[in-house]
Structures are given as structure tokens and as C-alpha cells.
Structure 1
Amino acid sequence: MADQNVSLVIAGGEISMGLADGIVTSQQSVSAETIQSWISPELAGSVRLVDWSHQPSSHYSVRMTADLVELLSQQVEAGAHAVVVFCGSDAVEEMAYLADLLWVYPQPLIFAATHAPAGVPGSDALTVLNEALLTALSREAWGQGVLVCAGGQLFAASDIVEYADYGRLGFAGNFRGAIGAIVAGKVHLWQAPKRSKIFDAPFTPARNVELLYASLGAGERFLQLLTGDEGNPLDGLVIAGFGGGHVYPAWVPYLKALVRDGVPVVVVSRCLRGCVMEDSSFEGAFLKLKEFGVMNGGFLSPLQARLKLAVGIGANLKGEELQKYLLDQ
């Protein structure tokens, strides 16, 4: 590894936060020197620490995450063989997915995820840190886009979900499971991640893309606010619909108005492993929504669809071109 180097970017989250009376706090951040001391001697000589932020991931936005990806890209441009980023676990599935949509390099980008700071009983923060660094420096991770290292396993950024906010096994792959693991100090990758189209030209994802979940008879007031806010217009809207992408009938006039005004509206399923279906023709069914221009989000999760729509709009995709990007066609 002497001729390799990895940038370790601290972007907040559990590993960078201290404890005050047993409570995690960003007011007592862990120093860069302390984090450096947690790196195993075998890896320490290959690591350059970039102490960027100590804020919780719940403080991030799409724009801030895009800024983080720009910082990570600068590490590669400056000669880094790979990049590891430690951020909070609360939003890591979104941050890693957005990074994967924007990451144009073959160099590995590994997000490290843990639920408890170092020093808390049961925390695996130091283990995850070193396993992420080991993965970043492996041949197996090269050209695989963005991976997430958690609980000794590797997940594709395009598939990871956080199903529990505690413990060492709170992450899973929604459709494909873990795609690799770190076993006895060695990285094993048994399948390649599925990635979307990557745009070469730089751009900024759209800022005002909202997400609305369908629920029994609710949401009409939110749509009234969204369609009536002329001072801060929507860039796009994702609807997490019932079942195969169906919505409450009272939503239809508002969705028609948004589409008529040129706002891209995308429907996905709110089911954990759902997809949009075109097999029903009742009022509010996706097939009826499609007739006036609502787009199909396919198998994308609601969180993924919002980020992918923001990227597509930022890349100036419109109409059929945007629809094909959403469906990876």
C-alpha cells in the first residue's frame, strides 16, 4: 500500500461527536488527532485525514451533500487513490445514493456507517472506520462506484436501507442484500452494484424537489400549499403512492395543475420493495395519472426517486429523456 493513499473525510456523525453525561453532542467534537490515533498502524501510513465537518447528517440538505461530493472529488483530482467519508447514520442511505449518482471516477468512494460513537458500550465505530479504509484500498472496490461499509458488510449505495436506528446490524440491501463483506481482514465482493447513468459535465441538483407520502385521506392540504406557493415554486415532486402508485382522488386536480405548469411529478410505490403498476384504471390509479403526464418511478424508493429527480432536473433533462433516466432506460 506504500504507493496508494486514501483521503479520510470526516463529514460529521457518530465517529466525530463526543459524549456529555452519556448524551451524544456535537458541542464536544472528537479531535482530528484522536481520530487519527484510531487508524490501525498497518493503514495509518496510507491515510490523509480531512476534518471537514462535525454536524449530524440530519443537518444536511441536497445542496450541502452535493458540496460534500465536490470536496470528495477534489481529493481524487489531487491524487487520492480512494476516498472514505464518515457521516451520520441517519441520512447515510440518501447521502451515499446521491454521491453515487454524481461520482464519475473509478476510484473507490466508501461511506462508513455506525450507530454509536466510540466509547459507547457495543460501538463498532473504530472497526467500521478501519474496515472502510481497508475496502477503499482494495482492488475489489475499484470501479464499483459508491459502497457503504456497515457491520462488517458492504452494500451498494443504490440498494442500502437503514431498517433500525440502533445496533450493529441496522443496515441491509433492500433488493440484493449485502454485495460483499470484510472477513479476516480481507475484502470480498461477490456482485457488482447496479448504477445509473453518470453525467460528465458538472451541474447542481435541483433544490426544490419535495416528497409526499400517500396515507388514508391525508395530504390534500400539503398539495394546496405546494401548488399555491408562487414565491418559491417547485422544481419537482415525488409521490410515494399506495401499492402500485395510486393516490387519493382529491389529489388529482392539484397534480394536474403542477404538470400543466411544467413541474415534473414522479410516482413511486410507498411499499418497501414496491414498484409502479399500470394494471388499474380507477380514479387516482397510476394509469390515470400517466394520461396527463405524471412520470413512472419504477422500482425506485421514495427517497431515491427524490434525489434522482433532483439530479435529472439539474442535468436539464426533460420529458421523455427525464423519464428514461428515472427508469435507467
Structure 2
Amino acid sequence: MLPQTKLALVIAGNFFSDEDNADPGLLLGYLPEELAARCEIKEWSTQPSSHYSMSMTLAMEGMFESLADEGYAGIIVVSGSGVMEEMAYLVNLLWQHEAPVIFANLMVQGRAGVKEGLMNLHCSVLAALSDDARGRGVLLCSSGELFAADDVTLADPGSPDNAFQSPDRGSVGKMLNGEIKFFCEAKRPSFLARRPEELPNVEIMLACLGGGDILISSLASSRDLGGLVLAGFGAGNVPPSWVPTVRNILRRRIPVVITSRCLLSHVHKTNDFEGSFDKLTEMGVMSGGRLNPYKARIRLALGISAGLTDDGLSLYLLNRPVCDDVKTLYK
């Protein structure tokens, strides 16, 4: 544990489902005295997580940067859990400090309720004070376990034991007998050479049986559309009726990405037919690789805002290096 370190406990939304006006100061009273003394509350927002946007989360990450510059050894974020995985993922794509950022899931439903949520707060504080947490980027704490932001997903908000999960590799650490144990490294992303500023409007179009034509036509006619993520069937296939509309969107120089709507799938070539992954990429649609649609949307928005070229965006979506500010990667 780092000597005489201070942690920032950031309130970024409502955090107790059974208390409409929960006092953030009460949180410190639930911690052991020696841990509470290390924490300073920073009230940033009291909005429900469903009211957040990517732009708000980008502004929040900028506030975290200021806290790191002020010398805080770690940042713990408490908020609603509904979009916590997306918030954590966005922050992780920009966070290059050694100090950890840990999103604590206090919004626990089911049999454990508030007690389980406060255990996650305790776990988050211990982890943020641990030397082993430094350099691991952004983590999310739920069920007494620590998950890497690049892989975690909200699986069952009604479960006190498995609300958040990491399908690919499980948790990277957990609290055991009152101590934090890390047992694998968290993957760090390829960082952008420029900081994103004003984020474009990037939408997700979900493929479903024989549907979506009206919605995708409406998106194509919008002047505000800045990017589009297609959540395709299986390995990345969409209805053939979408193809002319997607082609028109590409002609407007609006980036389009193909992902899979399936939780554990990734896009790849399977068959060569109209609307297939292979045909879409031949048209100029970018591969989202193993990204789910929500994470692809965040990467696409950040990459567009940072000024990546089409080649740069294609690399960034696949987590390839884009850290050099060169003409082939940045406009």
C-alpha cells in the first residue's frame, strides 16, 4: 500500500437504488476508519447513469486527468450500473496515468442489496491503494472481483454474484480474506495521438429477422449522422435490403463498422453473399473484429473526433497502433 496516499471518491450519479437522495458523505462511514481517512469525496454528478452521454463521459475523464495531476494516487467512481461498462471502456481508451481508475458497482439488487454494494466499495478502495493496481488502467469492481474495462459486460443486473462478467478471461483480481489479489494483467489499449474533443453522432443499427429497413433509411437521411455501427447476424452479416442504403452512407464519407450482435462472437468471412461480412468489407465497411457494437461505437466516435483517416480508423478498431501522428493515420 502506498504511504500517505489520497484517493478521490468521485460521485458520478445516483448509487443507492433504495435512497432517492443518498448523502455521499455516508459512504465514508461504511469504510474502516483508516481507509476512510484516505478518501476525499468529489461530487461531480447526481444524474442517473441512463442520462449520461459519451460527451459527458469524455468530460468526466478530463476531470480525472486533473485529479491525477493534483497527485491523487487512485480514483474510485460510484454511479449507476446501467451504462457503467461503456463509461469504463471509454475512460480506459484515454487513460494513460499509472494511477488506477476503478468503477465500483454499488447498485446491487437481489438478496445482498446495499451490503453487497458496500463490499464492492471496500474492495475498490483497497485495490486503488495497492501497488499492484498501478498501471492497470481502468477496472470495474463487482461481486468483490476486479474486471478489466476492455472485457467486462453487464450480464445480469439482478444478480449479486454475477452482475458483471468478463466472458473472454474472467476477472483480473479479487478480494480474498480482506486483501486484494491480482492474478493476471489487464490488456492496455492502443492510445490515440490526439485527444478527442467534440464527439460525432455515432449510431448502432441492430440486425433482426427481416427488419430494420425503415430505421436504417431514416439514419441514412439524417444530416447529423457522423458514423454507423452495424450489429450484424452471427459472423457479421446483414439483410441484403440494407446494402443499397449502406452504400449511400459510405458515399457520403460516413464511416461504417460491422460487428456481431452475438455476445461471444466476432466478425469474419464465412460465405460470399449479398450482405455478408466479406461483401460489406469489399464495399468499404470497416471490420469491428472482436468488439461488441457498444464498444465499437465508442472507438469509432473517439477515432473520428481525434482525426483518424479511414486507414487509421480501421487500425484503431482492431486495437492496432495509432500512437504516431502521421499523415497516413491522421488527417
* TM-score between both structures, scaled by the size of structure 1: 0.92
**Structure 1 position 270 matched with structure 2 position 261:** yes
**Match of residue 327 from structure 2:** none
Quote how far apart the aligned CAs of 1:205 are.
5.7
**Match of residue 289 from structure 1:** 280
Quote how far apart the aligned CAs of 1:92 are.
0.7
Question: Which residue identity does 2:203 align to in structure 1?
Answer: E
**Match of residue 58 from structure 1:** 50
Give distance in 2, aligned partners of 1:207 and 1:89: 24
Q: Which runs of 5+ in 2 are unaligned?
A: 321-331
Quote how far apart the aligned CAs of 1:220 are.
0.8
Question: Would the aligned equivalents of 2:8 and 2:72 in 1 still touch at CA under 8 Å?
Answer: yes
Give distance in 2, aligned partners of 1:180 and 1:18: 29
Question: Would the aligned equivalents of 1:14 and 1:116 in 2 still touch at CA under 8 Å?
Answer: no
Residues 287 and 184 of structure 1, relative CA distance in 2, 3 Å threshold = same
**Match of residue 242 from structure 2:** 251
Quote how far apart the aligned CAs of 1:204 are.
2.1
Deviation per residue, 1:75-102 (Å, 9 max, x gap): 1111101111111111111110011011
Q: How many residues align?
A: 318
**1:178-327 superposed matches below 5 A:** 178-199=171-192, 201-204=194-197, 206-230=199-223, 232=224, 234-327=225-318
**Match of residue 15 from structure 2:** 14
Question: Would the aligned equivalents of 1:63 and 1:207 in 2 still touch at CA under 8 Å?
Answer: no
User: Which has the higher mean CA deviation after the structures are superposed, 119-128 or 237-246?
Assistant: 119-128
**1:64-143 superposed matches below 5 A:** 64-116=56-108, 121=113, 123-143=115-135
**Match of residue 148 from structure 1:** 140
Quote how far apart the aligned CAs of 1:122 are.
5.9
Question: Would the aligned equivalents of 1:93 and 1:161 in 2 still touch at CA under 8 Å?
Answer: yes
Question: Which residue identity does 2:186 align to in structure 1?
Answer: P
SS at match of 1:98: helix
SS at match of 1:67: helix
**1:155-194 superposed matches below 5 A:** 155-169=147-161, 170-194=163-187
**1:15-54 superposed matches below 5 A:** 15=16, 19=19, 25=20, 29-54=21-46
Residues 197 and 279 of structure 1, relative CA distance in 2, 3 Å threshold = same
SS at match of 1:13: coil
Give distance in 2, aligned partners of 1:204 and 1:39: 37
Quote how far apart the aligned CAs of 1:298 are.
0.4
Q: Which runs of 5+ in 1 are unaligned?
A: 20-24
Deviation per residue, 1:10-61 (Å, 9 max, x gap): 111324x653xxxxx3xxx212332222222120121111122222111100
Quote how far apart the aligned CAs of 1:263 are.
0.5
Question: Which residue identity does 2:68 align to in structure 1?
Answer: V
Give distance in 2, aligned partners of 1:150 and 1:172: 9
Quote how far apart the aligned CAs of 1:120 are.
7.7
User: Which has the higher mean CA deviation after the structures are superposed, 121-130 or 295-304?
Assistant: 121-130
**Match of residue 329 from structure 2:** none
Give distance in 1, aligned partners of 2:89 and 2:157: 18
User: Which has the higher mean CA deviation after the structures are superposed, 270-279 or 152-161?
Assistant: 270-279
Give distance in 2, aligned partners of 1:278 and 1:18: 48
- Percentage identity across paired residues of the two chains: 37
Quote how far apart the aligned CAs of 1:268 are.
0.6
Give distance in 1, aligned partners of 2:292 and 2:179: 32
